Amino acid sequence: MTTTLEFTQQLSDHPKSDEERAAILADPGFGNHFTDHTVVVDYKVDMEGNGGWSNARLEPYGPIMMDPASAVLHYGQEIFEGMKAYKHADGSVWTFRPEANAKRMNLSARRLALPELPEETFLESLRRLVAVDKAWIPSGEGAALYLRPFMIATEAFLGVRPAREVSFRVIASPAGNYFGGELKPVSIWLSENYARAGRGGTGEAKCGGNYAASLAPQLEAEANGCKQVLFLDPFNDNAVEELGGMNIFFVFADGRLVTPELNGNILHGVTRDSVIQLAKDRGMDVQERKITIDEWRSGVDSGEITEVFACGTAAVITPIGELKTKDGSIASPGSGAGEVSMSIRKQLLGIQTGDVEDTYGWLTRLA
């Protein structure tokens, strides 16, 4: 039986002034600024080997005091989540499918040998932070307060074993459009020398190591004028897997919507799952299956594939205009910002912001 934790609260003595905050919210970017507070919950295993969560608190945002021997610094025992809080027209604040994020965090925790966090503690941590920092939510199309729950191994110990002391935390950052400015189709780079994950690895866990592994190919992508990098499975007919931080979908002329199947290498995207549900309810034939780079190329050439788009929490849905490779490119038909992808994006964003009725029960009120 899970015991509900009581949260204590210590407000910051030096919050940003209204003027400072307004200047930031006028052009927040993504991940550049942070709110005045953070939530922290501690985990510790006692001498009898029993572990438990305790000392749940909201406190001022600031540096983490950590021993140089903390396990996270040496073995990367760390996981995180990402979601957004939106302010609706009546001033209330809502987030999108946080229960799915809580479940995915525990999936990641099991893979990284970290303790699972009770779902109610996860949700309450979001409520506590948003309640005191809701003035940080920016306005404007696509703008939101990005919430970043994360868990790190804090035990000072250099042996290779699961840490017995862990810290769960939540920080928040005002966010504008992920790719900046007006939504436009993006160019992505095909990584042929690197893999994001391998069979039996941590591909379906949302852990920092996966993203660290994507940074070298991301630099390669940027050097070739691309915003993101696409990874393949070279041991599975060069099957398409996912981008560095997003899942990928293909729209076919006959009404099919295809996305790579979850095979242990691919992140269980909450946005991905939502797109699948919305597409099915539109009567589309949604297929989760292997799709190769050769099928992508031939499908575009023949006109069978009409749109390609990526999706994720930060960017929601972004049309892909071109896949660049060292041997040429695969350009999406037309402008790349297709009717199907933009229609689903409008519906999904409308549900999140309260402009479209939430018939799925996906929204949770935070404040």
363 Cβ contact partners less than 8 Å away, ≥ 6 residues apart: 94, 95, 96, 351, 352, 354
Q: What secondary structure letter does DSSP report for 292?
A: B
* For residue 219, pLDDT beyond 50: yes
Average pLDDT of 252-263?
96
359 Cβ contact partners less than 8 Å away, ≥ 6 residues apart: none
pLDDT of 340 reads 95
8 A C-beta contact, residue 137 and residue 21: no
pLDDT of 179 reads 57
pLDDT of 3 reads 56
* For residue 2, pLDDT beyond 70: no
Out of 12-21, 33-42, 91-100, 195-204, pick the least confident: 195-204
Residue 200: CB atoms within 10 Å: 8
Residue 196 or 168, more confident: 168
Average pLDDT of 287-312?
95
Mean pLDDT of the chain: 93
Rg (C-alpha) for the chain, rounded Å, is 21
> Which pLDDT tens digit goes with each residue over 122-177?
999 999 999 999 999 998 877 899 999 999 999 999 999 999 999 999 999 999 87
> Which pLDDT tens digit goes with each residue over 48-72?
989 999 999 999 999 999 999 999 9
Rounded Cα distance between 60 and 230, Å, is 38
Average pLDDT of 346-356?
95
Average pLDDT of 336-359?
92
pLDDT of 240 reads 95
Average pLDDT of 100-118?
98
Percent pLDDT > 90 in the chain is 85
Using DSSP, state whether 129 is helix, strand or coil: helix
Out of 109-113, 195-199, 298-302, 311-315, pick the least confident: 195-199
* For residue 182, pLDDT beyond 60: no
> Which pLDDT tens digit goes with each residue over 322-335?
999 988 899 877 66
* For residue 1, pLDDT beyond 50: no
Q: What share of the chain is helix, strand, coil (3-state, %, to 5)?
A: 25, 30, 45
Residue 72's identity, in one-letter code, is V
Residue 246: CB atoms within 10 Å: 27
pLDDT of 96 reads 97
pLDDT of 181 reads 54
Residue 234 or 273, more confident: 273
Which element (helix H / strand E) includes 188? strand 186-190
